[in-house]
Structure 1
Amino acid sequence: MSASASPMDDRSRRRGLNGLLVYTFFMVSGFAMLMPLVAVHYVNDLGFAAAAVGLALAVRQLTQQGLALVGGLLSDRYGARRMICLGVLLRALGFASLAFAGDLPALLAAMVLSALGGALFEAPYQASIAALTTTQTRPRYYAISNWVSGVATTLGPLIGVALLRFDFRVVCLVAAACFALNFVVALALLPRVEMPDRAPPSRGLGLVWRDTRFLRLVGLMMLYWFVAIQINISFPLLAQRLTGDVASVGLMFAVSAGLTVALQYLLVRWLERRWTSAQVLVAGVSLMSLAVGAIGLVSGYAAFLACVAAFSVGALMTRPTQQTLIAELADPRALGTYLGVSSLSLAVGGGLGNVAGGWLIDVAATRHWPWLPWAVFCAIGLLSAFGLSALLRGRVPRAQAALS
């Protein structure tokens, strides 16, 4: 299904898509250099309970993805670029304020402000990609975009850890600067992506509400995000506990992102020539679930990194395929609304995953049950894979034509 947006020539589309790749790089770099270090800084440096930091991360997740629907509705109504510009400025302000947050209320306030910015730019950003690509070009573009994300995710934590040698505030301010720079990128490179018929929000919501298959997909993706989000909460905490060195967190993310850079485009392209997008998604979720379950059986950092590597391969299989499936199932008359609703999967699943991840890590340490969090994550992930297999079996065409 091709997106429907205001008419533009091929040159404008290419310029816009290239601009979105630049935007993606700075967006992911800014996020990746700061967010994984939040748990480490507040738990180990300031003495916060892991559950309290998990709560703050969950508030950000729930606020951003929970309100992404609002960003999608506003995008359909007022245009994607306008919402992106406003959103990245709010995110920059939120990250800058995090530099001066020394207690839980201030941490929560900074997280909420950052989340409001993300809520405004996330759905318009995704809607812009869907509107500027076609059914034929979309899978390949998502693979390239995720490769760029992998490069940024590789560099981001390494830069963050390096800046942490100076001060956590420096990390926050540099991350904020990445989003301030994206304001310039959006103004200079992104075209005006607007729906041809600016219908009232109720019409888009009605289209989504009647689309039961899309809503079931959103529900199952909540379970997926519950597991996927652990790389930002449970994984960093375990990495530092295994080594006693914050640099191990950066190395963990470097391994994960390095695999994404090396394999993202070629592996997904190879798989989607042989499997449907749905099969790639289910296989990726299954691999992630088994890898996270295996973490509960290891005791050394090297074995932990091996599990992280397997988890990362599963993640790089799922990212472009779930994006493609969501874009293909979205009604082109209300792209922003559909993509805003799809963000609820990350809002609910990711929010619960952050809270449960921090809490389960605390319980495992107190009760001396190191396997507990990872067994729970594995079971939930496999449940998601089973549900996705049942929902999507035989209903999604092969992407071979698009990728060959």
Structure 2
Amino acid sequence: MPFRHYRPETRTLLGAQLVFNLGFYAVVPFLAGAMGRDYGMDAAAIGLVLGARTFSQQGMFLAGGILADRWGPRRAILTGCLIRILGYATLAAASDFTLFLLGAVLTGAGGALFSPALESQLSQADAGAPAGGKKGRRSVFVWLAITGEIGAVLGPVLGSALLGWGFDAALAAGIAVFTAVTILLWYRLPAAPDRVAAGRAAADRAAADRAAPERTAADSTQGPEPDLEEPGHAVARPALECLRNRRFVVFCMFASMNMLAYNQLYFAVPVELDRRGLDGAWLGALFLLASVLTLLLQLPAAAAAQRLGPGRTLSAGFVLLAAAFALTATTAVHPGTSGSSLAPMAGAVAVLILGRMLLTPTILSLIPAFVPAGGPVPRRGAYFGLSATCGGIAVLAGNALLGRLLDLTDRHHWWPGIPWVPLVLLALLAAAALPPVLRGHRTGSNAAPATTAAGPSRNA
């Protein structure tokens, strides 16, 4: 479906994603340079601040999704914007490590509230789209990827232009951007219905009743479930229902390989460029290549995904990721090698981005299909949050393993492609495992397919 045919609420949410990314990328990529150049902080302090920002966002996505379900997506989105404004204001006032750390954590926490709530609201906002365009309608998450990428491309340009006036000017621009987003969403997003609070208990019981037929024989031998009315269960069970959905947890575990793969643009690709004796400035060219490919090919990739169906799309996407890492492995060189070409890395990044263009919208559009019908309070925020948190855990564990392999390879002069082999194998494992997960879900689940996408209702 063309962008203009989506509902006004959907277009508002997509525009908010663009501006949110614009404000983020105008500031955060330059934070490390400002801390070191302007305040003389060492690499350890800078690494801790940046790591805390990432952890506070990725690690809190599940909590952010749960709060989005409890408060309603609108309130969580607005609160996320306000917390990010507070984070940027703290960074603007910072002159020592403590305030930089606090500002970075607040910045990450704002994103952890904003993103799962926006994805949840986006999936619900598009559910009522006119049936006339439904058959050939692209997933709204395709447009989410495009608008987010536009913000990611324009943000560093804005930040670079403002750095001539100092890092505080970039922070002021970021605060202005997030303030504008907050005001826009305050007036444009519909208020949460009053029945959310009043109907929570009834919805929780309805969700439990619907989930009961899906339990396996092994589950039934574990004893009776606690009464929802007992103290401690009325809140905890519904909030963490996504963790009890075993098929969804398995889906998230394999789908998280997508985030692990993309994160290598920040971690392993710079290391590989250095191994090949290529200047670090080439990393910017690779990021530009990734952004240009996303903007040019995301819609054609979405059309191909519609023809393939979700199961084959996921397989094809992860096979492309495996091919990207295999290309990197077979062309890897030992550290200090001179005269290497950028072409193999550019080819690997291009193939990786093609795989990601197939995977990311498909994964996001499939998530609502795992959510049991829960009455008036659908708990999609926690499901989107769990998916993102699993991605963060995969990145943390995967990067630790990859970093260790990189060190061992250089120390013992092993074949230089060894660090990439686990990534190839993990991508192929996800390609093989996810289609059966989807088939089992649709044949053994009562959850309605997501109407936000062309994919979930198709057979794998």
TM-score of Structure 1 vs Structure 2, range by shorter chain: 0.7 to 0.9
Equivalent residue number for residue 291 of structure 2? 257
Matching residue within 349, 352, 361 for 1:320: 361
CA drift at 1:25: 0.4
Matching residue within 198, 201, 224 for 2:200: 198
Matching residue within 344, 348, 352 for 1:307: 348
Structure-2 separation of matches of 1:303 and 1:43: 33
Matching residue within 239, 253, 271 for 1:219: 253
Equivalent residue number for residue 3 of structure 1? none
3-state DSSP of counterpart to 2:127:
coil
Equivalent residue number for residue 393 of structure 2? 348
Matching residue within 105, 108, 115 for 2:108: 115
Structure-2 separation of matches of 1:382 and 1:43: 41
Q: Kindly indicate whether residue 21 of structure 2 is the aligned counterpart of residue 28 of structure 1.
A: yes
Where do 5+ consecutive residues of structure 1 fail to align? 1-10
Q: Kindly indicate whether residue 276 of structure 2 is the aligned counterpart of residue 276 of structure 1.
A: no
The answer to whether the 8 Å contact 1:139/1:320 transfers is no
Structure-2 separation of matches of 1:373 and 1:96: 41
TM-score using structure 1 length: 0.80
Equivalent residue number for residue 6 of structure 1? none
Where do 5+ consecutive residues of structure 2 fail to align? 202-233, 333-339, 443-448
Matching residue within 384, 388, 393 for 2:434: 388
The answer to whether the 8 Å contact 2:362/2:455 transfers is no
CA drift at 1:208: 2.4
Structure-1 separation of matches of 2:149 and 2:49: 25
Equivalent residue number for residue 179 of structure 2? 180
Equivalent residue number for residue 285 of structure 1? 318
CA drift at 1:134: 2.0
Give the length in aligned residue pairs: 389
Q: Kindly indicate whether residue 80 of structure 2 is the aligned counterpart of residue 83 of structure 1.
A: no
What letter matches 1:213 in structure 2? R
Equivalent residue number for residue 235 of structure 1? 269
CA deviations 1:302-327 (Å, max 9, x no partner) are 33222211111111111100001112
CA deviations 1:315-357 (Å, max 9, x no partner) are 1111100001112222342222222222321231233345556
CA drift at 1:224: 3.2
Q: After the TM superposition, which of the residue ranges 71-80 and 237-246 deviates more from structure 2?
A: 237-246
Structure-1 separation of matches of 2:96 and 2:349: 31
CA drift at 1:110: 3.3
Change (3 A) 1:69 1:342: same
CA drift at 1:171: 4.3
Change (3 A) 1:239 1:151: farther
Structure-2 separation of matches of 1:56 and 1:364: 29
The answer to whether the 8 Å contact 2:365/2:455 transfers is no
3-state DSSP of counterpart to 1:231:
coil
3-state DSSP of counterpart to 1:331:
coil
3-state DSSP of counterpart to 1:133:
helix
Change (3 A) 1:105 1:116: same
Structure-1 separation of matches of 2:274 and 2:89: 25
The answer to whether the 8 Å contact 1:143/1:268 transfers is yes
Structure-1 separation of matches of 2:112 and 2:425: 30
Q: After the TM superposition, which of the residue ranges 18-27 and 70-79 deviates more from structure 2?
A: 70-79
3-state DSSP of counterpart to 1:134:
helix
Structure-2 separation of matches of 1:375 and 1:169: 43
The percent identity for this pair of structures is 29
The answer to whether the 8 Å contact 1:294/1:374 transfers is no
The answer to whether the 8 Å contact 1:283/1:314 transfers is yes
Equivalent residue number for residue 383 of structure 2? 338
Structure-2 separation of matches of 1:356 and 1:56: 22
The answer to whether the 8 Å contact 2:62/2:382 transfers is yes
Q: After the TM superposition, which of the residue ranges 359-368 and 62-71 deviates more from structure 2?
A: 359-368
3-state DSSP of counterpart to 2:200:
coil
Structure-2 separation of matches of 1:365 and 1:35: 31
Equivalent residue number for residue 223 of structure 2? none
Equivalent residue number for residue 5 of structure 1? none
The answer to whether the 8 Å contact 1:32/1:152 transfers is yes
TM-align CA RMSD: 3.8
What letter matches 2:139 in structure 1? R
What letter matches 2:394 in structure 1? G
Equivalent residue number for residue 144 of structure 1? 143
The answer to whether the 8 Å contact 1:287/1:311 transfers is yes
Structure-1 separation of matches of 2:441 and 2:155: 38
CA drift at 1:383: 3.0
The answer to whether the 8 Å contact 2:369/2:456 transfers is no
Structure-2 separation of matches of 1:277 and 1:101: 47
Q: After the TM superposition, which of the residue ranges 307-316 and 178-187 deviates more from structure 2?
A: 178-187
What letter matches 2:347 in structure 1? A
Q: Determine which structure has more spread, i.e. the larger CA radius of gyration.
A: 2
3-state DSSP of counterpart to 1:399:
coil
The answer to whether the 8 Å contact 1:227/1:380 transfers is no
1:36-51 superposed matches below 5 A:
36=29
Q: After the TM superposition, which of the residue ranges 40-49 and 135-144 deviates more from structure 2?
A: 40-49
Change (3 A) 1:102 1:322: farther
The answer to whether the 8 Å contact 2:21/2:151 transfers is yes
